[in-house]
């Protein structure tokens, strides 16, 4: 006759584990919901801050038309028009006047009043350097003001894609 040992019924153990897991899942679900709602709130805050940056800095309305766009082709069309408006609003001066010994002209960014990284040279090579500054191409530092409008369109495009279930 085999020795009987006092062990708990394995079924009871499993049920207890299951209940504990179920509680843990419920807790994680609640936590996740909380994080999602605080993430939504932060996302809204960021969107408002971007609008504020554009409102404060773009006094001439050069970036107008960016609100409400949620389509990639709209983004491309808006970018092209906005870049041309900003370039046309710039005040290019001979490079020498801007501290550069090169040829051609340079201009400050009409949106952020920024210059390329060199401390002694003012503005951006006009017009291509200014264009690159606005679009953030070939440079690690995109114009913060242009980017605020740009990113708010990108956010709406992403939100639309999520709503459509990743389609």
Sites of contact with Zn ion (CB under 5 A): 109, 111-112, 114, 143
Q: Which is nearer to Zn ion, 123 or 156 (CB)?
A: 123
| Nearest distance, CB of residue 98 and Zn ion, angstroms | 15
**Which CB, 70 or 136, lies closer to Zn ion?**
136
| Residue number with CB closer to Zn ion (60 or 163) | 60
Residue 36 vs 56, nearer CB to Zn ion: 56
Please, what is the minimum distance in Å from the beta carbon of residue 93 to Zn ion? Answer: 17
Burial of 91 (0-12, 13-18, 19+ CB in 10 A): exposed
CB of 145 to Zn ion, least distance (A): 6
Rounded CA-CA distance 153/148 in Å is 9
Integer Cα distance of 23 and 81 in angstroms: 55
For residues 116 and 140, what is the distance between their CA atoms, to the nearest angstrom? 11
- Which C-beta is closer to Zn ion: that of 63 or that of 143? 143
Residues sharing a CB contact under 8 Å with residue 56, sequence separation 6 or more, in sequence order: none
Buried b (16+ CB within 10 A) or exposed e, 7-33: eeeeeeeeeeeeeeeeeeeeeeeeeee
> Encoding tokens for residue 139?
């440079």
What's the min distance (Å) between Cβ of 40 and Zn ion?
Answer: 30
Tell the smallest beta-carbon distance from residue 132 to Zn ion (Å). Answer: 11
């Amino acid at each position: 006759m085999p020795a009987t040992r006092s062990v708990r019924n394995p079924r009871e153990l499993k049920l207890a584990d299951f209940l504990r897991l179920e509680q843990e899942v419920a807790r994680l679900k609640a936590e996740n919901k909380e994080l999602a709602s605080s993430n939504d709130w932060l996302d809204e805050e960021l969107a408002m801050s971007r609008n504020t940056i554009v409102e404060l800095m773009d006094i001439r309305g050069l970036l107008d038309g960016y609100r409400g766009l949620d389509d990639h082709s709209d983004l491309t069309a808006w970018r092209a028009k906005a870049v041309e408006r900003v370039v046309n609003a710039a005040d290019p001066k001979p490079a020498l006047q801007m501290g550069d010994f090169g040829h051609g002209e340079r201009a400050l960014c009409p949106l952020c009043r920024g210059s390329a990284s060199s401390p002694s040279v003012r503005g951006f090579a006009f017009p291509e350097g200014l264009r690159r500054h606005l679009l953030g191409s070939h440079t690690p530092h995109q114009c913060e003001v242009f980017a605020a409008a740009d990113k708010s369109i990108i956010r709406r495009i992403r939100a639309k894609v999520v709503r459509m279930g990743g389609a």
